[in-house]
Structure 1
Amino acid sequence: MELRHLRAFLAIADELHFGRAARRLHLAQPSLSQQLQRLERDVGVELVRRSSHEVRLTPAGEVFRGEARKLLDQADRAVAAAHAVAAGRAGTLTIGFNFPAGQDVLPAALAVLNAEHPHVQTQLWERRTGPQVEGLLAGELDVGFVYGRPTSPQLSSTELMTVPVVAVVGERHPWAGRESVPIRMLDRQPCLLFRREQSPAMYDAIMGAVDRAGIKLTVTAEVDDPVATSVFVTARQVIGFASASRAVRAASQGLAAVLLTDPSPTLTLHVVWRTEDRTPLVDALLGALGAAGPYTFART
């Protein structure tokens, strides 16, 4: 069964006139008749009955008409998908992201990407900045959303927004009722931090603000998992750190976010890709980001 025979049958079914159907398909009428005959031979039943007075579908033809249209629609979609892949407008993008990107950037950007490039599939991977950069350099990720501009010459980036770093405490902590505290009040307070390689830009933002305030941070433990940090902060009288985007959603977990001031540590959120591997799919995502922006951080 050939697709051209199906198209010929549907033209006849729509027009119920061989001459008009032939003109619609830019065929000679004898050629159209031959295609219908071959289709009926393949199917094994009569689909169209014609006389000197009329052309009409048989009951079998009426049923076949709907199924034939579905087959052609699917074939058209398959051809469109193949052309999209060949033109770089289809495929799978593997995207790494951190919490602010997942909350404040990706939902709108991926909606635009899906509307403009419906054949592009996405796989999402939530990680801190360090593991994302490793994944990009290893070719495991196509795009990442990280804190700070990567220093590797193999990576290019665009800044999307600025995100404050805040203190996070349990609801029974003395700071829980405060809107903000000067960063010098961290002096000699027990704090939770994370290893620098997990998020270098956030680590440096916190330690840089501490240095400018002329104090030392008392780190009682290093906890790399943000969820585990929340558990420890809830259970103990310790101070953790988080982006404002994450902290603003922490109230339901028994946590309180407290702005840090004088100075206020901040982070820049960047979209990152491999410099020598900026594919059409990466360009499609970057275009969607531009269309969906500008972006603003979620305030506490």
Structure 2
Amino acid sequence: MVDRQWGVPTLLGLRIPLISLIQTLAVAEYLNFRHAAKALGVSQSSVSARVKALEEDLGVLLFERHARGVRLTEAGRNFVERIGSGVDQIDHAVKTAGMVAQGECGRLRIGIHALIPRSFLAELIERYREDHPGIDVEMMEGTARDALMKLRANQLDIVFVAGTPELPDCHSRRIWTEPLVAALPDRHRLAGQTAVTWADLAGETFLVRHGGTGPQVYDHIVLRLAGRWPAPSILRFGVERCTLLSMVGQGFGTTIVAAASSLLPTPGVVFLPIADEPEPVAFSAVWSPYNRCAMLRNLLTLAGEMGRPCDSAQRALQK
């Protein structure tokens, strides 16, 4: 609307009640005040009064009244076409906002170290997607350090890392555990044993990755074999997990992995428990204390409901 005195647009659109637009759309659909009022569950006088008030505010006649009902004017037809899409968008925005608030719509960004079929993390994400089909799950694989940097930069919503980090600026929760196992070539001198010790592994050539949990594996090997003789050799490679295990199968060396890696079909590799490893490897979820979205809360709740998460990996080792 243009102000007749000053010739400039006014903010009329900011003070038109939404209910007036909805009732106007209903009248335009039924071309009858009584039928529109019945469909909306309100009185005919209320609809008539609101439409008339809207026409007066606009300074435009939207409907031509006659005995059997009404007919849209050309201005009214143009107004209804334009306002109809706007009301639909508002309705969609309201419904979407409610779904987001309940954690049933939106995008959840997850940082992972790996996604191994039949592992606890894979089953957790699969269950979550089944329970919440309206959520778009995005995943990024990388080192714990990179994932935490992205979490702090609000580029990720939650990160799953090995260990139990205590970070002053983040919340964390221990989610599941897995035994630590040695991956050896099937022709290795130790391959026929039911288990190995760290003393057995002294002097071995270990293969670790630059990415994923590689840095943590490197530190763990150094810690466990410190002071033992002969000293181990640790080689780092910029490869994926499957490639590293394939290199083990080809005799390049050995490595240590969490038990879920034994679920990967890798020809030429045997996985043996480490008998003197004091405790299983813990895996934790880390998230920002400022992230209170229902999507994240639902994922953490589901993780807590999934029971004994290390059983599948342990069963695979026992076969």
Per the shorter chain, which TM-score range? 0.5 to 0.7
Q: Find the aligned partners of 1:101 and 1:227 in 2 and give their Cα distance.
A: 10
The offset of 1:268, in angstroms, is 0.5
Unaligned runs of 5+ in 1: 13-17, 44-71
Q: 1:203 to 1:129 in 2, by over 3 A?
A: same
2:243 is aligned with 1:223: no
Kept in 2: contact 1:130–1:198 (CA 8 A): no
> Match for 1:128: what amino acid?
T
User: Under a length normalisation based on structure 2, what TM-score does the superposition of the two structures give?
Assistant: 0.64
Q: Select the residue among 287, 300, 306 that pairs with 1:286.
A: 300
- Find 1:143's aligned residue among 140, 145, 158: 158
Equivalent position of 2:275 in the other structure: 261
Structure 1: distance between partners of 2:197 and 2:203: 14
Cα distance, 1:217–1:273 mapped onto 2, change above 3 Å: farther
CA drift at 1:244: 0.7
Classify 1:110/1:21 alpha carbon distance in 2 versus 1 (closer, same or farther; 3 Å). Answer: farther
Paired positions, count: 267
Q: Percent of aligned positions with the same letter in both sequences?
A: 23
What stretches of structure 2 of length at least 5 have no aligned partner?
Answer: 1-20, 52-62, 64-68, 78-86
Structure 2 partner of 1:167: 182
Cα distance in 2 for residues equivalent to 1:183 and 1:122: 39
Residue 99 of structure 1 aligns to a residue in which SS?
Answer: coil
Please, what is the CA RMSD of the aligned residues?
Answer: 4.3
The structural deviation recorded for 1:255 is: 2.1
Q: Which residue in the other structure is 1:55 paired with?
A: none
Q: Which residue type is aligned with residue 125 of structure 1?
A: M
Q: How does 1:108-257 map to 2 (within 5 A)?
A: 108-109=124-125, 111-112=127-128, 115=131, 118=134, 120-194=135-209, 199=214, 201-211=216-226, 214-215=228-229, 217-225=231-239, 226-251=241-266, 253-257=267-271
- Asked whether the equivalents of residues 110 and 140 of structure 2 are also in contact (C-alpha less than 8 Å), the reply is yes
Q: Deviations over 1:205-228 (max 9, x none)?
A: 43433349x555422512253233
Higher helix share: 1
Residue 106 of structure 2 aligns with an amino acid whose one-letter code is: G
Structure 1 293/236 Cα, relative in aligned 2: closer, same or farther at 3 Å?
same
Mapped to 1, the partners of 2:71 and 2:300 lie a distance apart of 50
Query: 1:42-79, CA deviations, whole angstroms, 9 ceiling, x for partnerless residues?
Result: 89xxxxxxxxxxxxxxxxxxxxxxxxxxxx99986553
Q: TM-score if structure 1 supplies the norm length?
A: 0.67
Deviations 1:153-180 (A, max 9, x none): 2222100111122111233333334332
Q: Aligned partners of 1:4, 1:234: CA distance in 2, in Å?
A: 73
Say which one has the larger Rg: 2
After the TM superposition, which of the residue ranges 127-136 and 30-39 deviates more from structure 2? Answer: 30-39
Q: Secondary structure at the match of 2:42?
A: coil
Letter in 2 for 1:239: T
Which residue pairs with 2:121 in the alignment?
Answer: 105
1:126 Cα offset (Å): 2.0
Using the alignment, how far apart are the partners of 1:116 and 1:8 within structure 2? 38
